[in-house]
Amino acid sequence: MPPLTIDADRLWQSLMDLAQIGATPKGGVKRLTLTDLDRQGRDCFVGWCKAAGMTTRVDAIGNIFARRAGSDPSLPPVMTGSHLDTQPSGGKFDGAFGVMAGLEVVRRLNDLGVTTRAPIEVAAWTNEEGSRFVPTMMGSGVYAGIYTAEAMHRQKDVDGVSVGEALAAIGYRGDAPPVRVGAYFEAHIEQGPVLEDTKTTIGAVLGGLGQRWFDVEIVGQDAHAGPTPMELRKDALLAASRLVIEVNRVAREYPDNARATVGHMRVSPNSRNVVPGTVDMTMDVRNARDETLLAMVADLRKSAEAIAAECRVAIDVREVLYFAPSHFDPALVDSVRKAAAALGLSCRDIVSGAAHDAVYMNRVAPTAMIFVPCEGGLSHNELENARPEHIAAGANVLINAMVAAAG
Ligand code: GLV
Ligand code: MN
Ligand code: MN
């Protein structure tokens, strides 16, 4: 039997339509989790799923599951999905591609009148980005039992709004219990340069980097910018700046795909002629090996201590997220390679530098991911872009791998 193919134009159009919700002037998307724009994106997805004949349910952390029945109701579903939330300067594809590709799989099976044995489910996970609320991959983390919904409901954004309040405000606090999942696939843009640089269409993802996230509070002393001599200052921003340099140094010095980033900083009192007394900042540290990740963190803690002493400030480094490097299911990863080969698509193994809901689904079900190239490897950027033929190719791999798993 020739491999199945999806309707490329319909998938592309759905992505472009979804990208209107929260569209930014530069062509990106700002649809922060659990905002009214997120509600609009969710409502749009649920409407399309219902139109495709699917039944939907919502769980306590707001994850949405849309199901297409199989012929054998005793079988666990074969699931795919990703997230509808974006970064503040997000693009049209990060997350949205995986959800829309799942919907297109169902629409195409409907067109063809194909009934799989196992049900097919499409998930839209809550707060994958971890931008408005920590931690990242919150919805899939609850689903996989890493966190309780109750604990996550208490997490607050920088304005003091809790996840529980935000969920209730958008009407997506449900009560569906988790179900056993037979296999989980996630299609995603690569968000890095490897596939484009090697002119490869499909990445069979072996796993992803482990991550440790930190909240850092630096406390010095507010003081007048004029009369206060340099040697008497307790400048929290100077200390923060030195720590940023150390974060960069550590990521460059360590092996195993080391990455480290300071992406958020709040300076107080943030006034032109006041020596800054307080800085709150984040550190995001990643590595392919758990031991190396730990060594990077130990190095950073030592640097923070030295900087604190030299700048005469207090530096508190508090870990707020940890997950180990992940390794996806070898047989399922191979099914991705096989689907790509059957479709005549170039394919290479790849490791994900980004977090994905697949990381937590991998704890509860055999899991694999399908990457496609994105322009210049750019993501978490309004200019994020992908070619229609690559988007279609990824969804074609997805439909064949899912049908192979669902029977
Ligand atoms: C999520 O997008 C992450 O990798 O931080
Ligand atoms: Mn993503
Ligand atoms: Mn992202």
pLDDT digit string, tens, across residues 156-199 = 999 999 999 999 999 999 999 999 999 999 999 999 999 999 99
Residue 10 phi, psi dihedral angles, 5° rounding: -65, -40
Task: Give the predicted TM-score (pTM) of the model.
Answer: 0.94
211 CA to middle of ligand 1, Å? 10
8 Å CB contact between 277 and 284 = no
8 Å CB contact between 274 and 237 = no
Residue 15 is predicted with a pLDDT of 98
Atom of ligand 1 nearest to the CA of 94: 2
Q: How far is CA 312 from its chain centroid?
A: 37
Residue 361: in which H helix or E strand, if any?
helix 357-361
129 CA to middle of ligand 2, Å? 7
Does any ligand 1 atom lie closer than 6 A to the CB of residue 85? no
The token pair that represents 401 in the structure block: 């791998």
Report the 10 Å Cβ neighbour count for 8: 16
Q: Of 307, 312, 254, 251, which Cα lies nearest the Cα of 284?
A: 251
Closest C-alpha to ligand 1, atom 1: 355
Tell me which amino acid residue 288 is. Answer: A
Residue 221 is predicted with a pLDDT of 98
Summarised one tens digit per residue, pLDDT across range 387-405 is 999 999 999 999 999 999 9
List all residues 6 or more positions away from 244 whose beta carbon is below 8 Å from its beta carbon.
262, 281
372 CA to middle of ligand 1, Å? 16
354-379 as b/e: b if 16+ CB within 10 A: bbbbbbbbbebbbbbbbbbbbbebbb
8 Å CB contact between 204 and 398 = no
Summarised one tens digit per residue, pLDDT across range 104-154 is 999 999 999 999 999 999 999 999 999 999 999 999 999 999 999 999 999
Q: Helix or strand or coil: residue 183?
A: strand
Ligand nearest to the CA of 138: 1
Q: Of 259, 320, 321, 312, which Cα lies nearest the Cα of 289?
A: 259
Does any ligand 1 atom lie closer than 6 A to the CB of residue 136? yes
Atom of ligand 1 nearest to the CA of 353: 4
Place of tokens 């629409």: 107
405 CA to middle of ligand 3, Å? 27
- Ligand 1 test: best mutation among 33, 89, 93, 129, most atoms within 8 Å of CB? 129
Q: How far is CA 298 from its chain centroid?
A: 26
Model confidence band, residue 1 (pLDDT cutoffs 50, 70, 90): confident
Does any ligand 1 atom lie closer than 6 A to the CB of residue 352? no
Q: Which residues surround ligand 2, an ion (CB under 5 A)?
A: 94-95
305 CA to middle of ligand 3, Å? 32
